[in-house]
Amino acid sequence: MEPRILPASLTLLILLAGSYGRHLKSGPDPKMDQALLTFHNQLTEEVQVFYTSDYCYKCVYQHLVTVKPASSNASAVIGTKFTLSVRVESQSRNATLCRWSQTYGEGGHYSVWIKKSEAASNPRCTPSVDKRPNNAYLPLVVSALLLAIIALLFVVAPFAYRRHCRSNFIKSVCCQGPQYSVDNDRSHACEAEHNTIKAKPTRLRSLDTFRGFALTVMVFVNYGGGGYWFFQHAPWNGLTVADLVMPWFVFIIGTSVVLAFTSMQRRGVSRLQLLRKITWRTVVLLMLGFCFLNYSPRDGPLSWSWLRIPGVLQRLGFTYFVLSLLQTFWGHKEIPLRSYPWWNPIPDMVLYWPQWLIIILLETLWLCITFLMPVPNCPTGYLGAGGISDNGLYPNCTGGAAGYIDRLMFGDNMYRYPTCKEMYHTTQPFDPEGVLGTINSIVMGFLGMQAGKIIISYKGMNLHILCRFLAWAIILGISAAILSKCTRDGGFIPVNKNLWSLSYVTCMGCFSFLLLGGMYSVIDIKGWWGGQPFIYTGTNSIFVYVGHSLLGFYFPFSWEMHFQQSHWEWLFQSLWGTSLWVLIAYLLYRKKFFLKI
């Protein structure tokens, strides 16, 4: 999800993007995710040093430093997030003297000695470590252990309390003698607690927990994720933790639409009333995303020149609108499971064939536009990042047809700092919430609708529900593996969050069914977990999302960091800001305040 969409935070976006191996600056002071690389030239000729990141797909080598001859040296600050391929070239010989690939450690000082080889005519490059790098993952390990201890305490304490209450309740019933007397008020309180635990909630707690889990992860990555690259969006193809969040939200929207609209239809809510509700909620989501999350008073007068038209809430709102229409016009109040024997295996699919027909037509439209639409000065069906990728042949083709359509419709009123900008040196704006990707967002939501239909169709048959969730996960997972060929860049359709590619949708659909099925089993069937603390943010998702987007860059949620040499302060700030919003959601949950639209 592209969370940092406030114009005032565009400078911060560049900082969060990281270096990805580019030449940031010269000097002896590497900061977080940086290392110092010094070249010592002992040859009698000048050499040029070039580099590229191994994550960058078929990228053109970029110039790093020029090293003068006769025992001269030159230094450069390099990125440590990904493996770098480096080569040293002699222009006088028009040859590559040496090359290597290496992942450098954060804060380390490295040297490369370029000198003549005694055994061979060609020079050789000898590496050395002048200063050992920091352990970049130590803050993450310490934080994970602390969170694990806190989570364990939250699990053990309620369990011990329930055991204590159950023991007192048994004593109050079975042991009426004076030697076993128990305080009546305390006994009644424990009895009430015992009954509360046993009572089954009417609301699907696993769905709220799933939503809250996705939102909590999103808030964490929006605060920078401790500066770790895998908590930020992938440069182009591939998946990181940040790329998982928005599809989960879309999936949950689809499931919620089926459950909520089926319940309202059973209560006799008319189609006209449903359409009014759909329209109102869609307009509110669109206006929240367009007016509030695109602008901050710190930016000065509102200007159309920088206002972003697409956005996260805009896409969620439009996806909700389409899914709601599908359920309003082609949904069912009741599922006749055994009316027709051949329906028994797939009633959640056969009864909704008009919806399936519309979704298949939408996906066919996406495939045709993506792979058949001609784009000026670009190859047909191009899915790359442009810039220096693909040997620099298509520098202005970022996103292929998807980017071309958005630039035609929105001009410059779209996302100016796409995740590919830093690594691929792209110049074209590209919006990950663009028009073409919204089609596959609807498809992703429709997969969530399937989960809701399964829950309704097999109500009370938990084993059937879990088996169907697993079957869907396997089918979608195999589809993603085939489309991507189990590679990051070499598949028929790579997994790409920026494009919301078909393989990305099937991959995230697989994860969503597995995660929802696991939570449904643990929370709603077994009752082993109440969903805390994620259920608090899940029941107030709009409030937390809008609140953290508007206030996230103000104290006490964040502050100007002073320790730039490691991840410690950044990770602390990310966890602190996330914890504050979880605490706020908990207090609202206790007060029974739920912001709904």
* Stretch among 261-270, 376-385, 492-501 having the lowest mean pLDDT: 261-270
pLDDT of residue 3: 39
Tell me whether residue 233 is one of the annotated catalytic residues.
Answer: yes
Q: Is the pTM of this model over 0.95?
A: no
Instruction: Quickly state the pLDDT bin for 151 (edges 50, 70, 90).
Output: confident
Helix (H) or strand (E) holding 10: helix 10-17
b/e code 516-538 from CB counts within 10 Å (16+ = b): bbebbbebbeeeebbbbbbbbbb
Residue 477 has pLDDT above 60, yes or no: yes
Residue 260 has pLDDT above 50, yes or no: yes
Task: Please give the single-letter amino acid code of residue 266.
Answer: R
Residue 6 has pLDDT above 80, yes or no: no
- Residues 62-89 have a mean pLDDT of 90
pLDDT higher at 42 or 7:
42
Mean pLDDT of the chain: 83
- Residues 53-75 have a mean pLDDT of 90
pLDDT of residue 44: 85
Residue 1 has pLDDT above 60, yes or no: no
Residue 212 has pLDDT above 50, yes or no: yes
pLDDT of residue 509: 96
Residue 336 has pLDDT above 80, yes or no: no
Give the Cα separation of 296 and 174 in Å (integer).
64
Residue 156 has pLDDT above 50, yes or no: yes
pLDDT of residue 559: 84
What percent of the chain clears pLDDT 90, i.e. is strictly above it? 54
Residue 237 has pLDDT above 70, yes or no: yes
Instruction: Quickly state the pLDDT bin for 193 (edges 50, 70, 90).
Output: very low
pLDDT of residue 233: 92
C-alpha dist (Å) from residue 23 to 75, 367, 432, 475: 10, 38, 26, 44
Residue 479 has pLDDT above 70, yes or no: yes
Residue 96 has pLDDT above 90, yes or no: no
Pair 189, 166: CB distance under 8 Å? no
pLDDT of residue 31: 80
Question: What distance, in Å, lies between the first and last C-alpha atoms of the chain?
Answer: 21
Of 206, 200, 255, 202, whose CA–CA distance to 456 is shortest?
255
C-alpha dist (Å) from residue 566 to 230, 422, 453, 595: 16, 21, 48, 38
Residue 357 has pLDDT above 90, yes or no: yes
Residue 492 has pLDDT above 80, yes or no: yes
Of 407, 409, 384, whose CA–CA distance to 394 is shortest?
384
pLDDT of residue 15: 31
pLDDT of residue 385: 93
pLDDT of residue 13: 29
| Residue 345: strand, helix, or coil | coil
DSSP 164-215: HHHHHHHHHHH--SGGG---HHHHHHHHHHHHHHHSPPSS-HHHHHHHHHHH
pLDDT of residue 174: 56
Span 498-518, pLDDT tens digits? 999 999 999 999 999 999 999
Contact partners, residue 76, CB within 8 Å, separation at least 6: 23, 26, 36, 37, 49, 64, 65
Residue 181 has pLDDT above 60, yes or no: no
Instruction: Quickly state the pLDDT bin for 129 (edges 50, 70, 90).
Output: very high
Give the Cα separation of 486 and 493 in Å (integer).
11
Span 521-564, pLDDT tens digits? 999 998 888 888 899 999 999 999 988 888 877 888 888 888 77
pLDDT of residue 582: 94
* Side-chain half-sphere exposure of 452, counting CA atoms within 13 A: 28
C-alpha dist (Å) from residue 401 to 15, 374, 429, 430, 546: 29, 8, 13, 11, 31
pLDDT higher at 411 or 443:
443
* Stretch among 1-15, 357-371, 411-425 having the lowest mean pLDDT: 1-15
Residue 347 has pLDDT above 80, yes or no: no
Please give the backbone phi and psi of residue 411, each rounded to the nearest 5 degrees, phi first.
65, -125
pLDDT of residue 324: 95
Span 133-148, pLDDT tens digits? 988 899 999 999 998 8
| Residue 488: strand, helix, or coil | coil
- Residues 17-30 have a mean pLDDT of 42
Pair 372, 380: CB distance under 8 Å? yes
Residue 117 has pLDDT above 90, yes or no: no
Q: State the catalytic residue, choosing from 40, 109, 233, 425.
A: 233
- Residues 278-286 have a mean pLDDT of 93
Residue 29 has pLDDT above 80, yes or no: no
Instruction: Quickly state the pLDDT bin for 214 (edges 50, 70, 90).
Output: very high
